Structure 1
């Protein structure tokens, strides 16, 4: 597949790294010579210095024969024009644009993005996606990563196991005997930095990270069985009144649960506008780096602080201050994964990587087969893929034990006609089933082929 990526920032770099690792023909375009040099030094892709929406630059990038253009520059307008040029001059079949300004996405302008107007096939709204992820983390406080599949009837959970986990040193095959009605599957384990698909005789150890897929109705029970009974926070502080922080505050007001929410924003006009849009939250003008402001927000009594600014360093320092003042838990946005060890050392409970969320949003629209959703985990080491079984798929009419899936894959759940089903050996797949599959990144191409072609392909 030939792909052009306009934008070599963190998101563009992440997408290029993923697609290049899978053997795709990738070209990256950016105006910054420094970012392009970084791409050339680290990735096996073509990289050009130039304006992503300029016809000559796109022609030099190979737009004439490209399959997909992905526009993820810092400018919404450049992204939109790049998609227009890609279709009008080069007939690029599929065009994806990142749109950050929420005003473009309001219902009254819904006809703006169409083939006859601005031909954007897929719109990626990172701020909204990140805010939704924050809300999911608040709903399942014991998990450090989550994702929903099967029309929100299936939940992916990533949890850390400590000495208090009741099922430590229990062979995985015994979990079904111990909890026969529990709809949950352990799809992967990370131990000492190594991510792998466990075998039925494997044990889980203290210090492991466990990755599970469970029916949403069994989520709380699954968390308890694996040693997590944290309660959902009701007393919260949000630092950062950008699109993400504002969206989270509005969602907390809309969810029908009485929460105590204080939002801290350091821009006066922005703080005033947010205050006018919220009815039940308190907005404070100031910085999360000011101890007096945190004290005024009630940091000592807060159950969780959400550091949601666009600055990783501000988020980490705010988290450190809050924990030192007695805040129970903290969640913050971290774009640069090299900061993660620092976050863990200062007591950061949960981190969210906006770049990874945006990359996941893009990948689900470029995977082969009828892929409905993609969630990347562990900084791109693996993916959770939800895909529909097609008539040509290797799954059709096969029982699970007949598939002989490689050690790089594990089916977590199946969604059929509104019902969640667990993958047992005698389960037989049908056309239209939606399968939630864990796959290590190196095996993504094989997983795509399982969904799109018959067994004779192999």
Structure 2
């Protein structure tokens, strides 16, 4: 697929890196010649220097031949104009725009992005996605990631197996016997640099990264098995008062027992934050200053959320907070190489905003009736929710760990709005919503499960 990416910033680079790895033909446009050169060399993609909203620049980028355009410049309005021009002049079939300002996303203005309004097929809002992901981490202490499927009925949660966990040296297929009242299923295991689909006799070891699907109501129980950290949040410190920090603070304020303190270095941004929060206390100062962190109360904090616009700063502040006594710390990290330093820096959770955005885009690129998708560990694996068609090769097949193809594990089925965790007694029926974990090299095979098989006719 020929994909045109407008904007070579962090988000654009992250999307380009992932799509280039999947062998798509990528062209990236940016006004910065240095950025274009860097991305072109690093990722071996075609680069165009110019303003992506100018028709002649899109023409040079062969917009008339591309199947998808992704506008992720720093300006919402430019992204919208890019999509409009791509539609009007070049008939690009699928158009995606990054929109950061939440006022555009209010339900009252939902008709803005339509064929009759701005012809944008998909709006991505990394800030909103990151904010929601942070709130999910707040609700799942000890988790390294969390995502929703089946309209929120199923959660996929990732944990690190720590020493003393009751499941160490236990085979995956014994989990149900140990916890018969728990509706959960281990589907993926990460060990070292590898991540693979779980098989029945796989044994968990300390240091493993475990990905498990769980019924939403049972998520706290699963969390208690993998984490000794408390569920209750009383005191949260947010370092970084941008759009994401404000969104998280305002959502946490709805919980009456949670006290929120926000630290923001920029005085203008801090003053804006004061006017937009209700109960949160805003402190103007540098989060790298231990005295400022102490004023924010990090030594008593249940969760410190560090979301400035600098990865290194986020790691350092998270480390300082943990040393001061904070129970948990989350750092926003855009650079995969820096994310590997998190364990040594005592950072509990790392959040990569590009991974959230890429998951949304990949959902639109996958073939077949796939309704939801989450990319894991920089593309090493994915979890998808799809509809099993009558012609699918899975129809009538059981869903035990060893019944699935190598590299694929079934998590759950939703049938008539009822959730069933996968096991060897559950078989697939037409129109089932099936949630699968699969390794990266199984993408095309999984797509076939959710596509019409020509041989069926």
Q: TM-score, normalised by structure 1?
A: 0.93
Distance in 2 separating the partners of 1:320 and 1:226: 23
Please say which of residues 161-170 and 58-67 is displaced more in the overlay.
Answer: 58-67
Q: Which residue of 2 aligns with 1:430?
A: 429
The answer to whether the 8 Å contact 1:263/1:284 transfers is: yes
Distance in 2 separating the partners of 1:369 and 1:44: 29
Q: Which residue of 1 aligns with 2:452?
A: 453
SS in 2 for 1:144: strand
Cα deviation, residue 389, structure 1: 2.5
SS in 1 for 2:342: helix
The answer to whether the 8 Å contact 1:190/1:208 transfers is: yes
Distance in 2 separating the partners of 1:431 and 1:375: 23
Please say which of residues 128-137 and 201-210 is displaced more in the overlay.
Answer: 201-210
Q: Which residue of 1 aligns with 2:388?
A: 389
Q: Which residue of 2 aligns with 1:60?
A: 60
Q: Which residue of 2 aligns with 1:138?
A: 138
Cα deviation, residue 150, structure 1: 0.8
Query: What are the equivalent positions in structure 2 for 1:223-302 lying under 5 Å apart?
Result: 223-254=223-254, 256-302=255-301
Tell me: CA distance 1:228–1:372, structure 2 relative to 1, closer, same or farther (3 Å). Answer: farther
Distance in 1 separating the partners of 2:175 and 2:454: 31
Matched, 1:193 2:193: yes
CA distances 1:22-60 after superposition (whole Å, capped 9, x unpaired): 232322222222222233323343332222222222222
Matched, 1:82 2:82: yes
Cα deviation, residue 125, structure 1: 0.6
SS in 1 for 2:450: helix
Distance in 2 separating the partners of 1:426 and 1:167: 23
Q: Which residue of 1 aligns with 2:22?
A: 22
Cα deviation, residue 376, structure 1: 1.2
Q: Which residue of 2 aligns with 1:40?
A: 40
SS in 2 for 1:87: helix
The answer to whether the 8 Å contact 2:199/2:402 transfers is: no
Aligned pairs, number: 456
Distance in 2 separating the partners of 1:270 and 1:40: 35
Q: TM-score, normalised by structure 2?
A: 0.93
Tell me: CA distance 1:338–1:22, structure 2 relative to 1, closer, same or farther (3 Å). Answer: closer
Tell me: CA distance 1:302–1:195, structure 2 relative to 1, closer, same or farther (3 Å). Answer: same
5+ residue gaps, structure 2, are: none
5+ residue gaps, structure 1, are: none
The answer to whether the 8 Å contact 2:198/2:409 transfers is: no
Q: Which residue of 2 aligns with 1:114?
A: 114
SS in 1 for 2:112: coil
Please say which of residues 304-313 and 228-237 is displaced more in the overlay.
Answer: 228-237
RMSD between aligned residues: 2.2
Distance in 1 separating the partners of 2:269 and 2:10: 26
The answer to whether the 8 Å contact 1:395/1:451 transfers is: no
SS in 1 for 2:190: strand
